[in-house]
């Protein structure tokens, strides 16, 4: 897999630091609120697993499977809920965990849905923020690192379902996705 990567953008060590930093902030913010930390599958898995071990207060976990990409490198804006939450969010504080916020469409749809279902608050924690890709107004409350508008893989992020298990985030060589 490493040979398909043009350069490492966020190293494993940097991701560790990000998880620790955000864990401290989230612990302080949510210590008396018993929030639901919702992961958006499948991209959330490595970062969510790392982050929650740095949150030092009670949390509940929930998962949704939402698709916005269909094998390519561009978001389509066509969001499908493939697996819904199995716990009610009414009157609960909710933290959505994402690998990356790009156009913002996916998170916006999910935020609106959770608010409509009566969540007391909805915030977003994301490992990566790609603000140059934004097409809807959305500012994640907790950001690991801001990256330029490039297609990245690793640490949950995929191209054609591959590379999610890379232990870092890297820029994929163009020749790989233009084949």
Chain residues that interact with ligand IMP, rule: CB under 6 A:
43, 68-69, 75, 98-106, 151-153, 157
First to last CA, the chain: 16
68: nearest Cα among 108, 123, 105: 105
Pick the catalytic residue from 99, 102, 129, 158: 102
Active site residue 102: yes
DSSP single-letter state for residue 173: P
Provide the pairing of β-strand 93-101 with 5-10: unpaired
Give the chain's length: 179
| Shortest distance (Å) from residue 47 CB to ligand IMP | 11
What three-state secondary structure class fits 139? Answer: coil
**Cis (ω within 30 of 0) for the bond into 42?**
yes
Quote the CA–CA distance of 58 and 47 in Å, as a whole number: 18
Distances (CA, A) of 144 to 63, 141, 147: 20, 10, 10
What three-state secondary structure class fits 16? Answer: helix
Count of beta carbons in the 10 Å neighbourhood of residue 34: 12
Show which residues are catalytic. 102
């Amino acid at each position: 897999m490493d040979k398909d990567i043009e350069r490492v953008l966020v190293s494993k060590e940097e991701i560790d630091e990000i998880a620790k930093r955000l864990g401290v902030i989230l612990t302080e913010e949510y210590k008396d609120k018993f929030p639901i930390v919702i992961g958006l599958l499948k991209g959330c898995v490595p970062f969510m697993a790392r982050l929650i071990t740095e949150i030092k207060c009670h949390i509940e976990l929930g998962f949704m499977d939402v698709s916005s990409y269909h094998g390519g490198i561009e978001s389509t804006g066509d969001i499908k809920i493939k697996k819904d939450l199995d716990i009610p969010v009414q009157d609960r504080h909710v933290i959505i965990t994402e690998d990356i916020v790009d156009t913002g469409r996916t998170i916006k749809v999910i935020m609106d849905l959770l608010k409509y279902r009566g969540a007391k608050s909805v915030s977003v924690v994301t490992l990566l923020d790609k603000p140059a890709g934004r097409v809807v107004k959305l500012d994640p409350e907790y950001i690991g690192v801001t990256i330029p508008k490039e297609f990245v893989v690793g640490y949950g992020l995929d191209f054609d379902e591959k590379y999610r298990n890379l232990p870092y985030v890297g820029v994929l060589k163009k020749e790989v996705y233009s084949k």
